Amino acid sequence: MSTEVRQMFSSIATKYDVTNEVLSFGIHRLWRRTAVRLSQAKPGDSVLDCASGTGDLALAFKRKVGATGHVIGTDFCAEMLESGPAKAAKAGLPVDFQVADAMDLPFEDNRFDVASIAFGIRNVDDPVKCLKEMGRVVKPGGRVVVLEFGQPTGAFGALFRFYSKTVMPTVGGLLTGNRAAYEYLPRTSAAFPAGERFLSLMDQSGAYAERSAHPLTFGTANVYVGLVR
């Protein structure tokens, strides 16, 4: 799956930000701020953002940790990272970007205070291995934060499923020229474990002393927080 996902993201990289803004109505900005807040990152902290894409969450963390903090953004798709350095420079927020696989991170144990991944863990081949690897590079007592789509229920859930299956592929396809990518993204979101089922994956990793789930926008997304052992 990794090769196919890398090729898919490579094909939509240049239009990813615009498409994401349109399809999410800008709500993703609020979700990222919530993820940063729940991470309890503070000035001077060292943060690793996995599956960083075009770098928006990494930049949000850099704003939080300040000049004395250090943020590294990684992604296994080099094309997705290409716009990150210019975006960081324009914002005056120095962030290091490098290509790396979230299941095989090139960092020593206990290096970071916080590690994060937003809308990326459902695309890895082994989510439990990814959770374990992220926990490995975070200091004991530090936090791993996962922002991922959920599966809302009730009337809002029905509306969300219609939007995901019908509107997202159409609009995403028009904006990027790759309709299949925007059929894949909602399909994997609907199938990926959410809520208590995702917390079970965190337990299977054995990396966390505590873990919690924080639903956002009627369960459309969740922020999961793990306290590293």
| pLDDT computed for residue 3 by the predictor | 83
Is the pLDDT confidence value at 65 over 70? yes
Average pLDDT, the chain: 96
From residue 56, alpha-carbon distances to 63, 69, 145, 184, 213 in Å are: 11, 17, 15, 22, 22
**Cβ distance 52 to 14 under 8 Å?**
no
For 27-36, write each residue's pLDDT tens digit.
999 999 999 9
β-pairing verdict for 208-216 and 112-118? unpaired
- CA pair distance 210, 95, nearest whole angstrom: 29
Q: How confident is the model at residue 2 (pLDDT cuts 50, 70, 90)?
A: confident
Which parts are annotated binding residues? 54, 75, 101-102
Tell me the domain boundaries of the chain.
Answer: 26-152+191-228
* Cα R_g (the chain), whole angstroms: 16
Q: How confident is the model at residue 71 (pLDDT cuts 50, 70, 90)?
A: very high
Q: How confident is the model at residue 117 (pLDDT cuts 50, 70, 90)?
A: very high
For 131-166, write each residue's pLDDT tens digit.
999 999 999 999 999 999 999 999 999 999 999 999
* 72-97 mean pLDDT: 97
The verdict on pTM exceeding 0.85 is: yes
H-state helical runs in 66-195: 78-81, 84-91, 127-136, 154-162, 168-176, 179-191
- Look up the CATH number of domain 26-152+191-228: 3.40.50.150
Q: How confident is the model at residue 1 (pLDDT cuts 50, 70, 90)?
A: low
For 184-202, write each residue's pLDDT tens digit.
989 999 999 999 999 999 9
**Cβ distance 179 to 185 under 8 Å?**
no
Which parts are annotated binding residues for S-adenosyl-L-methionine? 54, 75, 101-102
